[in-house]
Structure 1
Amino acid sequence: MNGLKKLVAAGAAMVLGVTCLSACGGGGETAQEENPTSIKIWHYEEDNSAQGKAWARAMEIFEEQTGVKVEFEKKSFEQIRQNASQILNSDEAPDVMEYNKGNATAGLLASQGLLSNLNDYVDQYGWDEKITGSLADTGKYNELGVMGSGDWYGITNYGEDIVMFYNQDMFDQYGIAIPTTMDELEDAMQQFVDAGVTPLSEGVAEYPLQHLWWQLVLQKADEDFINAYEMYDGDVDWHGEATTYATETIKDWVDKGYISKDCTGLKAEDAGQGFMNGTYPMFFSGTWWFGRFQSDIPDVNWTFSLFPETDKVVGSSGNLWVIPENSAKKDLAAQFIDITLSDEVQNLMGNSGGVPIAADPEQITDEKSKELITSFNDVLANNALGFYPDWPTSTFYDELNASLQELVNGTSDMDTVLTQMEDNYNKGVESAGVKQ
């Protein structure tokens, strides 16, 4: 991060509670409760997802091992994303919770002193022997909240990337081949449009379309662009080849009917359901859907692949387990996190359609799950993870969605959309004090 400079006095006020960052795991400044009888855990995974199944088992194991009752509360993705700072700065904070990785989320909370430093627990449990390379980047943050270096504030136990899901039955019904190149992808989408079918299930109110936009950016982006965008190491050319190509392609696909103009108000769940119920033959989204597709549409013949013709793919480690600084049960929280990395829980995740980072390959009996894990391992081996587009600032997730909504519904042209993205990005980075 050669372009990252030290925080000056004007930006120092942003890093509230930074002195708390030196607190070691297992202690901190919060008094630890003696002989606790319960622990509060929050996450936002669906019960029938791979993570949901695996973590439910982890809670059972935790209760068996400790005799401490788990008070589990399922929250929504949006509940935690929008309210985390306020919640963690109150007495309502859980003892351990799932949280989004990246500078604008876990990094921001770490820089504000709201998350516990986990360095001692990493040493105690040897988590850094399982979480290595690019998987570790999203768990470590420096004093400015920038990922990739510094101290541990979050622990992942799975990986994820964004893939193209295909309804093989619909492709067969219309006599269309599963594409392997960009030309074949666009040809397949055109054939569906000609048959009166909108090919891509999309939702612009939440993350699906911004992930597609970022994947198109990654087709043209080099390492310098990614480092500038994600790590603030250099300037981002918002009207250069990568962003222009991605934005033009989205507009072109909307104009051709590959993406419905009516998707601007749809959320991720709406888009996923549109694929599962057979309305759309394609869905570009995360491997976190894999387990649900296996359990929810067992009679549908579906397949998946990485996006064609790209060296980088959207994805990273999975979300993080974090321990709020206000927790009085940090040791128990760390024990629970360690159980999620155990062989039993990791293997269960793998056989449920997830992408565990520490499973025994010989214990993964489901062939489709093996295919998924092999695909992700290849991505790791090729250093192909390209992270996510909303990470650089705390407000960019909503701002990207708003810009893409204007692009899809035609209220703003491409140049206006790119300028709006650029302005929002620069304002967010400047206000965070992470770059000068």
Structure 2
Amino acid sequence: MSKIGIAAALAAAALALAACGSSGSTDTSGGGGASTEAKTLTLWHFEGATSAMGVAWADAIKQFEASHPNVKVKVEEKGFEQIQKTAPMVLGSDQAPDIMLYNKGNATAGLVAKQGLLTDLSEQAAKRGWDKLLTPSQQTTARYDDLGIMGSGKWFGVPNYAEYVMVYYNKDAFEKQGVKVPTTLDEFTAAMDKFVKAGTTPISVGGAEYPAQQIMYQLALSKAQRPWVDAFQLYKGKVDFHGPEWTYGATTFADWVKKGYIGKDSAGIKAEDMGVAFMSGKYPIMISGSWWYGRVNTEVKDFKWGTFLWPGNQLSAGSSGNMWVVPEKSKNKDLAYDFIDVTMSKDIQNKLGNAGGVPIAADPAAITDEKSKELIENFNKLSAQDGLAFYPDWPAPGYYDVMVAGVQELINGSKPPAKVLDELAEPYNENLADIGG
């Protein structure tokens, strides 16, 4: 996932590859804008303008252009799904951007790194101190070995924020139903039963994209320990897709649909529509990532809201955030490195934190927004208990689409959980065999 950590798909400009390349030749100025030749740094990302990352990066672009007076940053906003599906093709073409935000994990960054489509950033990470700013656990998603497996090897990306999945809730709706913030999964399901009895579907779900699979993964994680995560994500052991973890995740997810916690029409709903529905007050609960936090904080006006960690879990989907990667065919690599430096600066990190993001190198004293402090404190709690379990679509190439199809089948009731788990196991085991596992 993480992606995704992951992000809402944006209404993007039409993908015209011929217009996506950067202008100018490879920058040899060594950064800092020393060359007098006018250049364009082409940057792709999929974060909304009102998200914490969008707010911070807009400021980073202004700072970068001020320190590089001969350079213009050309931002091309793409949808998360758009980049997910077209990145290998674009990265292998002459239309590759100079720098791009990309999903982390074996199935995405690991795959294109293995294919030679990303620049090795190891030397820059040491030279510019990125290896000191990122903790060892945060470096897991930045580094990939020759097989494209995360956690070791060369640096192929630099995350400048972190993320995790949590529960957003409408405080007014909870109060109306006499529901308190749950601390166990049993209390959580009891709360949702109250909403169902009142005629309300509790959870806003996007089954057509990443959100639904993350709910199923959270349920599986409620029965899991760290060795299970390491086996599934890092190939450090055998994964039984009919073991207690995945079995509980799939069967309970299907049960939540039957009980009315998840709408039967949610299989066709995209992440953006899920978020808008929650922010409009239509649903009292949304289970998704911290990437929504800044936007919810900005756009919700008609009710009080809050968040809480998934009740009772030691583990939660989450990781360092999506990464800046520099395509091997980037025409302005030194400028791309300089831009990453700006996004890692204290000033931009503090802005990201106060805008509702989870910075990795901010000054804690500089985070003054109370809601943002709570967001960061919950992330720190997860990190301290070794609770970040990455995302379910990461382990194998193409796994994202497999996961989406699987949860859609559970929502539609077109296949039983055991059959869906067979479908999840097949491509995973095929990839494991391909890499000699």
Tell me the TM-score normalized by structure 2. Answer: 0.91
Question: How far, CA to CA, are the matches of 1:383 and 1:435 in structure 2?
Answer: 28
- Structure 1, gaps ≥5 residues long: 1-29
Question: Which residue of the partner structure matches residue 95 of structure 1?
Answer: 98
Q: How does 1:230-309 map to 2 (within 5 A)?
A: 230-309=233-312
Note the C-alpha offset of 1:434: 2.1
- Distance change in 2, residues 1:204/1:435 (3 Å): farther
CA deviations on 1:278-337 (whole Å, 9 max, x unpaired) are 111011100000000110113421011110111111100000000000012111100000
Note the C-alpha offset of 1:435: 3.3
What is the aligned counterpart of 1:315 among 308, 315, 318?
318
* Maintained 8 Å contact 1:275/1:283: yes
Question: Which residue of the partner structure matches residue 405 of structure 2?
Answer: 402
Output the amino acid matched with 1:239. Answer: H
Question: How far, CA to CA, are the matches of 1:299 and 1:429 in structure 2?
Answer: 49
Q: How does 1:384-395 map to 2 (within 5 A)?
A: 384-395=387-398
Note the C-alpha offset of 1:139: 0.2
Q: How does 1:20-59 map to 2 (within 5 A)?
A: 32=27, 35=35, 36=37, 37-59=39-61
Tell me the TM-score normalized by structure 1. Answer: 0.91
Note the C-alpha offset of 1:172: 1.4
Note the C-alpha offset of 1:274: 1.4
Q: Does 1:155 align with 2:158?
A: yes
Question: How far, CA to CA, are the matches of 2:427 and 2:94 in structure 1?
Answer: 33
Output the amino acid matched with 2:43. Answer: I
Question: How far, CA to CA, are the matches of 2:340 and 2:145 in structure 1?
Answer: 22
Note the C-alpha offset of 1:339: 0.2
- Distance change in 2, residues 1:84/1:235 (3 Å): same
Question: Which residue of the partner structure matches residue 344 of structure 1?
Answer: 347
What is the aligned counterpart of 1:329 among 329, 332, 338?
332
* Maintained 8 Å contact 1:395/1:428: no
| SS at 1:165 equivalent | strand
Question: How far, CA to CA, are the matches of 1:248 and 1:79 in structure 2?
Answer: 31
Question: Which residue of the partner structure matches residue 16 of structure 1?
Answer: none
Output the amino acid matched with 1:244. Answer: T
- Distance change in 2, residues 1:272/1:317 (3 Å): same
Q: Does 1:84 align with 2:84?
A: no
Note the C-alpha offset of 1:398: 0.6
Question: Which residue of the partner structure matches residue 364 of structure 2?
Answer: 361
* Maintained 8 Å contact 2:181/2:308: no
With 135-144 and 173-182 compared, the bigger mean Cα shift is at 173-182
* Maintained 8 Å contact 2:26/2:333: no
Note the C-alpha offset of 1:31: 5.8
* Maintained 8 Å contact 2:267/2:411: yes
Question: How far, CA to CA, are the matches of 2:405 and 2:436 in structure 1?
Answer: 25
Question: How far, CA to CA, are the matches of 1:107 and 1:221 in structure 2?
Answer: 25
Question: Which residue of the partner structure matches residue 435 of structure 2?
Answer: 434
Question: How far, CA to CA, are the matches of 1:175 and 1:382 in structure 2?
Answer: 31
* Maintained 8 Å contact 1:396/1:428: no
Question: How far, CA to CA, are the matches of 2:344 and 2:365 in structure 1?
Answer: 17
Question: Which residue of the partner structure matches residue 4 of structure 2?
Answer: none
Question: Which residue of the partner structure matches residue 65 of structure 2?
Answer: 63
Question: How far, CA to CA, are the matches of 1:306 and 1:279 in structure 2?
Answer: 22
Question: How far, CA to CA, are the matches of 2:94 and 2:303 in structure 1?
Answer: 46
Note the C-alpha offset of 1:74: 0.6
Question: How far, CA to CA, are the matches of 1:72 and 1:268 in structure 2?
Answer: 23
What is the aligned counterpart of 2:225 among 219, 222, 226?
222
Output the amino acid matched with 1:74. Answer: E
- Distance change in 2, residues 1:395/1:407 (3 Å): same
Output the amino acid matched with 1:249. Answer: T
| SS at 2:215 equivalent | helix
Question: How far, CA to CA, are the matches of 1:175 and 1:226 in structure 2?
Answer: 36
Aligned length: 405
Question: How far, CA to CA, are the matches of 2:329 and 2:255 in structure 1?
Answer: 49
| SS at 1:104 equivalent | helix
Note the C-alpha offset of 1:33: 5.8
Note the C-alpha offset of 1:32: 4.9
Question: How far, CA to CA, are the matches of 1:298 and 1:151 in structure 2?
Answer: 45
Q: Does 1:113 align with 2:113?
A: no
Structure 1 vs Structure 2 CA RMSD: 1.3
Q: Does 1:142 align with 2:145?
A: yes
- Structure 2, gaps ≥5 residues long: 1-24, 30-34
- Distance change in 2, residues 1:117/1:383 (3 Å): same
With 58-67 and 296-305 compared, the bigger mean Cα shift is at 296-305
CA deviations on 1:372-402 (whole Å, 9 max, x unpaired) are 1111112112111001010011111111111
CA deviations on 1:33-53 (whole Å, 9 max, x unpaired) are 664522111111000000000
Question: Which residue of the partner structure matches residue 381 of structure 1?
Answer: 384
| Identical aligned residues as a percent | 49
Output the amino acid matched with 2:158. Answer: I
CA deviations on 1:143-198 (whole Å, 9 max, x unpaired) are 11100000100001100000001100111122222222111111110000000000
* Maintained 8 Å contact 1:232/1:434: no
With 269-278 and 93-102 compared, the bigger mean Cα shift is at 269-278
* Maintained 8 Å contact 2:27/2:335: no
With 33-42 and 66-75 compared, the bigger mean Cα shift is at 33-42
Note the C-alpha offset of 1:265: 0.4
